[in-house]
């Protein structure tokens, strides 16, 4: 072995050691993600290639893929994800890549993938994501923060109970059963992860330590449709209680995790895109409009100025996909009406519905939908393009101060 060859081996070895040690050359940045099904994420990975067809979103696709088109595996971002599948809690951990979305009919992504990728690209510090998400849950009950106090029945619920001769004490007990359970589970999970970071991130250096650097909340659907909790939701101020609950939520999380002033991002619901309630097209969107206002209003409270930001997910709504989805819903309704006619066979109903579909939706539009959508409208059609933009926007809001 020549001296020159020996020197090359030594130099390469030193480079490897430096590279290996540099992963944890700074404190670990910890970000917490929480919410319901849209935080879980219902974008099937098969919809990822469609991102490349949008020039504005194309850079995200380049970020999400390695050479050869494989899904990126982060080198400096790890994730601990607590969720539920078929009613059972499931814990999934490792280096961030695809597959950390909803665990049903996957693999899927949620906002976490591009959130972590954006942080990795913008920061030199290693990153740990702690994600807790459960579909079909509300801030009013499941995520209810401790300082909000126990659930109280509305006047309408009390009157309805009296009319039915119901036991009001039983009604109150039932309403409160399980209240705040997911808030407690989230705090417990965060504390558990932080007590044993090496379980997820073997390279973690306790001497460098960690910093809880931000929180993202992406939830709202189940509160928006809860007429019992928000009996006046068709009117301005009908969701004021949500604003109050979310304010309690922010305060309690900061207190329970010991991070006063922790940067906080609210992902405001944005299904169907921007709303103008003065536009006849949006005349039936009052609930959506008032609920979005209530979510964003929390950031306007004086105590949260500058440290609670909002991201309007409506800005990233894919209107083309949405328009096709509405047409498909019309086809589905047409088929449902046809099926009432008992003189028609199933084959005849299917054929008539397909003929109606072809009048409304071109084959080109169907291809766009089949490749770009993988779920329902309330899950942003399971579009990777939309979820990828959400994740990147959440990260940018924490890094750059966000937008209203």
How much is the CA Rg of the chain, to the nearest whole Å? 24
Cβ atoms within 10 Å of 147's Cβ, excluding its own: 12
Kindly state the tokens that stand for 369: 């939908």
Predicted confidence at residue 4, as pLDDT, reads: 43
Instruction: Count CA atoms within 13 Å of residue 285 on its CB side.
Output: 18
- Ranges 116-120, 198-202, 282-286, 326-330: which has the least confidence: 282-286
The pLDDT tens digits of the residues spanning 34-71 come to 999 999 999 999 999 999 999 999 999 999 999 889 99
Residue 21 has pLDDT above 90, yes or no: no
Residue 6 has pLDDT above 60, yes or no: no
- Ranges 86-90, 140-144, 167-171, 287-291: which has the least confidence: 167-171
Predicted confidence at residue 371, as pLDDT, reads: 97
The residue-averaged pLDDT of 303-320 equals 96
Predicted confidence at residue 237, as pLDDT, reads: 94
Reported confidence tier of residue 322, pLDDT bands at 50, 70, 90: very high
The pLDDT tens digits of the residues spanning 134-164 come to 999 999 999 999 999 988 766 677 666 666 7
CB 28 within 8 A of CB 208: yes
Residue 400 has pLDDT above 70, yes or no: yes
Compute the residue count for the chain.
404
Average pLDDT, the chain: 89
pTM (two decimals): 0.89
The pLDDT tens digits of the residues spanning 246-266 come to 999 999 999 999 999 999 999
| 3-state SS track over 323-388 | HHHHHHHHHHHHHHHHHCCCCCCHHHHHHHHHHHHHHHCCHHHHHHHHHHCCCCHHHHHHCHHHHH
d(CA 387, CA 373): 11
| Bond from prior residue into 107 cis (ω within 30 degrees of 0) | yes
The residue-averaged pLDDT of 212-224 equals 97
């Amino acid at each position: 072995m020549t001296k020159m060859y020996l020197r090359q081996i030594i130099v390469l070895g030193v480079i490897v050691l430096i590279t290996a040690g540099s992963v944890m050359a700074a404190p670990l940045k910890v970000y917490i993600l929480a919410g319901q099904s849209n935080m879980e994420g219902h974008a099937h990975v098969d919809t990822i290639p469609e991102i490349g067809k949008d020039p504005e979103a194309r850079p995200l696709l380049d970020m999400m893929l390695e050479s050869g088109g494989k899904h990126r595996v982060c080198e400096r971002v790890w994730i601990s994800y607590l969720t539920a599948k078929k009613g059972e809690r499931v814990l999934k951990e490792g280096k961030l890549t695809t597959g950390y979305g909803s665990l049903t009919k996957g693999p899927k992504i949620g906002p976490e993938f591009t959130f972590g990728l954006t942080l990795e690209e913008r920061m030199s510090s290693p990153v740990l994501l702690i994600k807790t998400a459960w579909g079909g849950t509300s801030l009013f009950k499941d995520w209810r923060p401790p300082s909000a106090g126990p659930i109280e029945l509305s006047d309408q619920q009390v009157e309805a109970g009296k009319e039915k001769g119901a036991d009001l004490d039983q009604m109150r007990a039932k309403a409160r059963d399980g209240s705040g359970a997911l808030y407690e589970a989230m705090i417990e999970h965060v504390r558990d992860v932080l007590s044993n970071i090496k379980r997820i991130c073997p390279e973690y250096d306790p001497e460098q330590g960690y910093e809880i650097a931000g929180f993202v909340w992406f939830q709202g659907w189940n509160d928006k449709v809860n007429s019992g909790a928000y009996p006046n939701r068709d009117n301005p101020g009908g969701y004021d209680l949500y604003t109050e609950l979310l304010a309690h939520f922010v305060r309690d999380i900061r207190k329970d995790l010991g991070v006063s002033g922790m940067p906080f991002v609210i992902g405001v619901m944005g299904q169907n895109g921007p709303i103008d309630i003065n536009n006849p097209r949006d005349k039936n969107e009052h609930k959506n409009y008032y609920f979005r206002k209530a979510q964003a209003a929390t950031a306007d409270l004086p105590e949260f100025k500058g440290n609670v930001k909002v991201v309007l997910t409506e800005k990233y709504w894919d209107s083309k996909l949405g328009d096709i989805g509405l047409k498909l819903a019309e086809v589905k309704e047409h088929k449902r009406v046809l099926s009432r006619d008992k003189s028609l066979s199933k084959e005849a109903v299917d054929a008539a519905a397909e003929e109606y579909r072809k009048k409304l939706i071109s084959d080109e539009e169907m291809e766009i939908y089949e490749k770009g959508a993988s779920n329902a409208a309330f899950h942003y059609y399971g579009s990777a393009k939309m979820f990828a933009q959400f994740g990147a926007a959440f990260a940018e809001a924490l890094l750059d101060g966000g937008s209203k």
